Structure 1
Amino acid sequence: MSAVLKPSQIAPAIEIRDPAAVADVLDADAQAFLAGLHRRFEAERQARLAARRERQAKFDAGALPDFREDTRAIREGDWKVAPIPVALLDRRVEITGPVDPKMVINALNSGASCYMADFEDSTAPTWDNVIAGQRALRGAVAGSLSFEGNGKRYALRPEDERAVLIVRPRGWHLDEKHVLVDGERMSASLFDLGLFAWHNARALAEKDRGPYFYLPKLQSMEEAALWQQVLSHIERALDLPQGQMKVTVLIETLPAALEMDEILHALRDRIAGLNCGRWDYIFSYIKTLRGHRSRVLPERGQVTMTQPFLRAYSELLIQTCHRRGAHAMGGMAAQIPINNDAEANERALARVRADKLREVTAGHDGTWVAHPALIPIAREVFDERMPTPHQQHIGREEVIVGQADLLTPSLGTITRIGFENNVEVCVRYLAAWLDGNGCVPIHWLMEDAATAEIARAQLWQWLHAADGGRCPLHLDDGTVIDEALFDRVLLGLPSRLASQPVIGATRVPEAIALLEELSHRPTLEDFLTLPAYERL
């Protein structure tokens, strides 16, 4: 270890839940390493979160997000990011999912180009889940991971047949309440990424496999610059070359869409691309513009990537990335196979094909799927239209996207079915999440925290966009959208769910109570998982 962060020189004033049970993952040296990260970066993390709140207050007061004048020189400058490593040159199909051992094995064996192991939106961060995920990924890197269940034994394929591993830590806004450093909760971002790097960075570097990370929910270039500081610090601590750790940033917030050049520039020595995190982006659009009645979105089923504001976001991302020598990754298809209805299954798969065709035609360099059965479909579309490893030669110079293009809302309606579906998805997902499941199939869609957040934020906005009750929104049948309607739907939900298999069914009453509380509040809670985390 280098002198930058020598564990034996740091007094680890750190408290960990059930330390004996996690000693294989969190020994004294690992604890000291994490304590050092907290002490070095926690103050700046808090400053970045405060800056988020200050900016949102301006939006709530009537301001609109816009491109920054103080960074015009970065946007107009002629510069490129560092070369992309060979392992990340061809990313045409990526699969994402939680970090339990079975999922890790199946995803790495799936035939996808890359697997994003997700500690964030598809993992409920119980202490057991988080630690099990670190163990699973450590075993995967070592090649020793196996799992037995349902009468089967799951094992990894040879290394050259596995997907490239990319790890997504939790976002800057989340804490890890089971780890206290000097009496303070540790950043979940630093815990997830730091602990994975501590155990696996050197081994992955020796294999020329990174380590590689997806960075979620950034809102500004300053937040990207904080990640740059963290990653450089870890590289020095672990005696890795500067720039060894590569990242892809998810552009899944509206403010970040207006700072894509700046985010690439802040991470230019290590960034491999940007990703259209479409579901979180829609959620962020609602949350950021929650006080602007003229920008209320229709029900989520009508907010597709063909809507003008989402098409503008996707095309700007492609243009920006390719100008700078980075990959422009497409978004996730949330569909899952419908096994008992061939006709409905074919309709769902046709939507996946159309979505992937739109992405590859627009110039994306790869795409995401949520289920292994969708990999052959996505790969077939990209193989046919993208014979090269990527499409950085497609510059999309004709694209002109301004502030108004990114802010124009979708046209559409709010149906009774759409309103009731939002309520059902929120409750069912939240019940499953509280029960330890972060990735939940509901009505043949794979729901995670991002998709549930769309439903939850829409409900709040529809209820609170009424200008004090003077000008309420309406369903397409003329019914007023108000708290009475919401309460009736919520009250009738248990009987609707009684005949369905519901993951986390025993937590449904708790989920209903929490959704009711959050929806009636005068201010939209930033993230559903913040109050829910306290109940885990």
Structure 2
Amino acid sequence: MVKGVQIHSPVAPKAQSEIFTEGALTFLAALHRTFESTRKKLLDARDDAQRKYDSGVALDFAPETAHIRAESSWHCAPPAPGLEDRRIEITGPTDRKMVINALNSGAKTFMADFEDSSAPTFANMLNGQVNLRDAIRREIDFESNGKAYKLSEKPAVLIVRPRGWHLDEPRITIDNAPMSGSLFDFALYFYHNASELVKRGSGPYFYLPKMEHYLEARLWNDVFLFSQSYIGIPHNTIRATVLIETLPAAFHMEEILFELRNHSSGLNCGRWDYIFSFIKKRRADKGAVLPDRKDVTMTVGFMDAYVRLLIQTCHKRKVAAMGGMSAQIPIKDDPKANEIAMEKVRADKLREVRAGHDGTWIAHPLIEPIARGIFDANMLGPNQYHVRREEVRVAAADLLNTAVPGQITEAGVRENVSTALAYTAAWIGGNGCIPLNYLMEDAATAEITRVQLWQWVHYGSRMDTGEPVTVEFVDSLIKELAPGVRKLAPGVKEADLNVAVEYLKGQIRKPWASEFLTSDLMPYLAIKDGVPAKMQKAAL
């Protein structure tokens, strides 16, 4: 319908006709042609920065923006309608049942996720757009297996997380180039729903993932200004919360808020991706080897410093400082184990609210009463912007502190192998969020397992037994554990598991671990979606 725009995958006629309208495709093309060159330059800048880190240049606060950090007079936009109180935010993928259950959960907001908890099959991405459109218009009710799913009278406020800047959308090309996954997700949601949301007293609200530099926030702000003008809604209607989930972004918090200040609704501690980034960005530093994943808690030095700086920064600029996700999920068949797990949730949420966070994340509706009870008892107003944390002093060395108590154990290595295999296989099969051993695993937690295995092998790290973690040892665990993955994660197909096995074997042998498993494995999804193999990069 639109010159230069090609859809390379077959799509269900209903979704294609309702989502891929001529107007929507024209908007996609306009965004791509306006912003793609800038996106590519920023991604190249990431590579340049990584080469500097590898050569021994330490991360630090940017000297050219010291005046922004020092100036106390600027503040971000006031909370938009529905975002004044965000004490509990539930997150999850955009399938129809999940959308209804999350909006009805009792949480203040629902972050509908096109990113880490969604495997980006074309069906998932398009069905998610249909589901969110229907939810906004209260046309999402349906029945399944004799059970009715119906939206409540006062559902949670909707916030959407598009994919990160690094991901392409290969099923759509514009002028023979794949478009940005970020802009694809953002554009379709914004084009179809922004005016309707404003009409209903809300607005187009977003979570922005994986940024590494304030110039990446500037690009988002430019996209917002362009898009608001394009469809004719007032500037500054959009609100965006940025996930601080990369190590470089921790050094750019104030600058990121400054770039987005008229569209900003705060920052979030994306804790799991942050740990992943900490390992990846410091891959050339043998002193940055971390112990078992379970030992890298929010109270260790570099994580505590990051939290304290984020809260101080947000409240200085009068926006929300959102807490992160506890990985625990309810355990239905073991009351004692469930109570232990839920006690971990209570302790985590109590730590967050006492530190000054304005809200927290949950992944399961049954955890909502627990988290809400903690925040209701300790946060009497809608937020804690008044908790300024002016006593906080966080230096670059604090954010880079690698003193993490704990050891590398065989159990930790085994768990990483098992989780990496199970999640990768599930993701290739179209499922981006899976429960494993009573923890909710998504791309972020799977990435930690992958890069930890690489890091331990690369540096010949020794377990508490004194034995080194070698390629041969990890290979033996892969061989041992792979047959049990399909029981651990029901629904995983053997062919997808075989790909996951070869991928993990390849990763531990690389000079440097890959940037993102999602980028590596996207070609498999694209080929499954009918995109010709010759158009895809080799995944392994």
> Which residue of the other structure, out of 134, 158, 165, is the alignment partner of 1:139?
134
- The residue that corresponds to 1:300 in the other structure is 293
How far is 1:389 from its partner? 0.2
CA distance in 2, matches of 1:57, 1:258: 18
Residue aligned with 1:530, SS: helix
> Which residue of the other structure, out of 7, 24, 44, is the alignment partner of 1:15?
7
> Which residue of the other structure, out of 429, 434, 440, is the alignment partner of 1:440?
434
Pairing 1:379–2:372 present:
yes
Pairing 1:265–2:258 present:
yes
**Alignment identity in percent?**
49
CA distance in 1, matches of 2:57, 2:204: 40
> Which residue of the other structure, out of 453, 471, 480, is the alignment partner of 1:492?
480
Matches within 5 A, 1:169-188: 169-188=162-181
How far is 1:62 from its partner? 1.2
CA distance in 1, matches of 2:84, 2:200: 16
Pairing 1:119–2:114 present:
yes
> Which residue of the other structure, out of 276, 279, 292, is the alignment partner of 2:272?
279
CA distance in 1, matches of 2:508, 2:521: 14
The one-letter amino acid paired with 1:93 is: I
Pairing 1:128–2:123 present:
yes
- The residue that corresponds to 2:461 in the other structure is 473
- The residue that corresponds to 1:453 in the other structure is 447
The one-letter amino acid paired with 2:411 is: I
CA distance in 2, matches of 1:198, 1:229: 16
Q: Do the aligned partners of 1:246 and 1:271 also contact (CA within 8 Å) in 2? A: yes
CA distance in 2, matches of 1:354, 1:242: 41
CA distance in 1, matches of 2:273, 2:213: 15
CA distance in 2, matches of 1:495, 1:208: 52
Pairing 1:83–2:71 present:
no
> Which residue of the other structure, out of 405, 426, 429, is the alignment partner of 2:423?
429
CA distance in 1, matches of 2:171, 2:144: 28
Q: TM-score, normalised by structure 2?
A: 0.95
How far is 1:85 from its partner? 1.6
Q: Do the aligned partners of 2:268 and 2:323 also contact (CA within 8 Å) in 1? A: yes
Q: Do the aligned partners of 1:12 and 1:31 also contact (CA within 8 Å) in 2? A: no
Deviations 1:431-468, CA, capped at 9 Å, x for gaps: 11111100000000000000000110101111112xxx
Q: TM-score, normalised by structure 1?
A: 0.95
Q: Do the aligned partners of 1:431 and 1:503 also contact (CA within 8 Å) in 2? A: no
Residue aligned with 2:261, SS: coil
- The residue that corresponds to 1:217 in the other structure is 210
Matches within 5 A, 1:57-96: 57-78=51-72, 79-96=74-91
Deviations 1:97-140, CA, capped at 9 Å, x for gaps: 00001100110011000000000000000001100000000001
How far is 1:308 from its partner? 1.4
Matches within 5 A, 1:268-347: 268-347=261-340
Name the Cα RMSD after superposition: 1.3
Q: Do the aligned partners of 1:220 and 1:256 also contact (CA within 8 Å) in 2? A: yes
- The residue that corresponds to 1:103 in the other structure is 98
> Which residue of the other structure, out of 49, 56, 60, is the alignment partner of 1:55?
49
Residue aligned with 2:32, SS: helix
Residue aligned with 1:87, SS: coil
Residue aligned with 1:381, SS: helix
CA distance in 2, matches of 1:402, 1:334: 29
Residue aligned with 1:462, SS: helix
Greater mean deviation of Cα atoms: 24-33 or 505-514: 505-514
Unpaired runs of 5+ residues, structure 1, are: 1-7, 466-471
CA distance in 2, matches of 1:236, 1:176: 24
Q: Do the aligned partners of 1:12 and 1:32 also contact (CA within 8 Å) in 2? A: no
Residue aligned with 2:472, SS: helix
Unpaired runs of 5+ residues, structure 2, are: 526-540
Residue aligned with 1:535, SS: helix
